[in-house]
Every structure is written in C-alpha cells, then in structure tokens.
Structure 1
C-alpha cells in the first residue's frame, strides 16, 4: 500500500468509526446502563469484530457482495429488522443495577457476530476494501486496512462506552435514564432510515 494513501485511509476510519451509528449508540447505551467494566466484552467485540470482517470481506467476500443484489438487499433489510429489535431492547433497558433477569450487556461473540448483519458495517467494509486493498497485494493491504481500523476502533468503542458511563452520573432518576435510552434507540432508528434510503 502506497504511504500516501495512509492519511486518506486513516481519515476514513476516523470518520466512520467515531460518528454516531448502531455500534456507537449501543456502546453508549450499554456504558450508561451497565457501566464501563461490564461493557468491556461488548466494546472488544465491536473493536475486533469489524476489522475481522474487513479482512474477510477484503480477501473473500467483497466481489460477491458487490455483484449480488439479492445478498445486499437481504443483509440490508435483515440488518434493519435486527437493529429495530435492538433499539426496542435499549429503549426498555432497566439500567445499572437493574433487577430484570434479561438485562445485560452484549457478549463479545454477540458483538463480533453483530458486525455481519449491521448494514453500516457492510457499507464501510465494501467502501474501505474497494478503495484501499490492492489486487497486486491483497493480503498485506487487507491486513493494513484491518490493523488501522482495529487500533482506531478500540479508541472509538472505548470513547463511546466511557461517554455513556459518564452520562450515567446525570441519569440518577428512572425518568432521565428512560429519556437517554429513548434517545439512543432513536439514534439507531435514524441510522436505519439513513441506511435504507441508499
């Protein structure tokens, strides 16, 4: 990979990883509802899962995804339905110290797996791999792209989780927490609308 493309790749990674989207809204909500420590498996799953997806898409699935309209539409609509369900779960979360039996942060494996049905992740993966993975050196360039997204992804995931936990200090009443969870769920719904418009 030519060194002159690294700033563009880094800028793309920062723009896509740090802006609001399903992963970041979910991490902020989890940080607010369950605290930073309990959200670490979710955080690590997002940070590691997307670079793993990038690597696989870059080496194997990118062409198939680009040429199959049925696959693209299936993932887009299936992902939208799942995101709506997640938004519903966040909106009804019980918060830190919740007594609800089903209230828990996402597990590492769940967060890794979520990347594969997250329409924003697919859009980012196809865009990054088509622009920055060179056909003449697919393995090394795919590894570089994945490594940059891994490093910046850890920072992004930790930032959004910490922001959620910091906000939790002001979410000391059930009403405030409910409003926050509603806003986070709303961000996910807005991201779904944006995804489905394209």
Structure 2
C-alpha cells in the first residue's frame, strides 16, 4: 500500500470515526455521566468490535452477508432490539456522583460495546467499503493487517474526543436538573441515528 493510499485511508478513517453516529452518541453520554476514564472500556470495545468486523469481512464474511438477504435482515432486527436496549440504558443513567441512586446504570462495558459493533449493519457496510477500497490484491493479507492498524491508530483518539467532550459538558451542566433531559436526548439521538439503517435497503 503506497503512502498516498495510506493518507487516503487515514483520512477516511478519521471522517468515519469522528463524525456523529450511534457509537459516538454512546461515548458522549458515557463521558457526561461517568467521565472519560470510566468510559474507556466502552471506547476500546467500540474500536475492537469494529476492527474485528473489518477482519471478518476481509476474510470473506462480507460476501456471505451480501449473498444472504435473510441473514442481513436478521442482523437488522437484532440490531434494532439491541439499540433500543442501549438507548434505555443511557436514558436511565445518572450522574457519576449519584452512586447511591438505584436508578443509575453502570457504564456500557467492553463486551457490550464490541457486540454492538457486530450487530450494527451500518458498521458492516463501512467495513465492506474499506476492505474493498483499501486493500492490495497482490498482498491482500498484509494490506488488510495494515488497514486494521491504521484504523486503530486513527479511531481511538478520534472517538475519544466524544467521551472527553461529554466530560467537559458535565462541567457546564453539573449534576442537577439538566442531566436527566440530556440522557433522554442522547437515547433519542442513538435511536434516530440508526433509523436510516433500519429503513434503508
């Protein structure tokens, strides 16, 4: 993979990572409610889940999905249920200082975040695009591994910005009456961000 392709890949990874989406909504909400450090399992779960998906697609699973509309439909249904569950979890989250509040949920963990990527049809589509566009057929496995490495280097700090932004937002909102409306708004945004995926072809 030439340096020009690497720069193009890094740019693509930056845009896809830092732009608004369901994963970044979760990071913003988690940073707001639990802080950056406690949101790290969520952050690394998102990255590892997506990169695992890129690897699976690169090794041929993408072709299976493309040829199996029923499997893709099932994936969408599972995703819809999982997104609604995560949205409910975010909506019921409390500020990190309210540890004694039984309504407070713990931060979304590594496994939950990774599983969300694996049932996210939009993420599958991005993984398919990137493996087709940025791999070298003459050195396929090597270029696939390099692709994953570049995405990892770009993705972690890019999505981390959302969690840090959530923590900074907490300083503005405090832990008072604005926290609950914020969490509900993030839950609604999470569901809304996936609507185009659910209604798309």
- CA displacement 1:25-53 (0-9 Å, x = unmatched): 11111111011111111111112221222
Distance in 1 between the 2:167 and 2:104 partners? 20
**What is the aligned partner in structure 2 of residue 30 from structure 1?**
30
Deviation at 1:130, TM superposition (A): 2.0
Q: 2:115 aligns with which of 107, 113, 138?
A: 113
CA contact (8 A) 1:21 1:120 kept: no
Distance in 2 between the 1:189 and 1:18 partners? 18
Partner of 1:136, secondary structure, is helix
Question: CA-atom RMSD, angstroms?
Answer: 1.8
Partner of 1:170, secondary structure, is helix
Deviates more, 1:4-13 or 1:31-40: 4-13
State the TM-score, normalizing by the size of structure 1.
Answer: 0.91
**What is the aligned partner in structure 2 of residue 74 from structure 1?**
74
Determine if the alignment matches structure 1 residue 140 to structure 2 residue 142: yes
Deviation at 1:120, TM superposition (A): 2.3
CA contact (8 A) 1:59 1:138 kept: no
Deviates more, 1:65-74 or 1:160-169: 65-74
CA contact (8 A) 2:50 2:123 kept: yes
Distance in 2 between the 1:70 and 1:2 partners? 38
Structure 2: runs of 5 or more not aligned: none
**What is the aligned partner in structure 2 of residue 53 from structure 1?**
53
Deviation at 1:18, TM superposition (A): 0.5
Distance in 2 between the 1:161 and 1:168 partners? 11
Deviates more, 1:156-165 or 1:76-85: 76-85
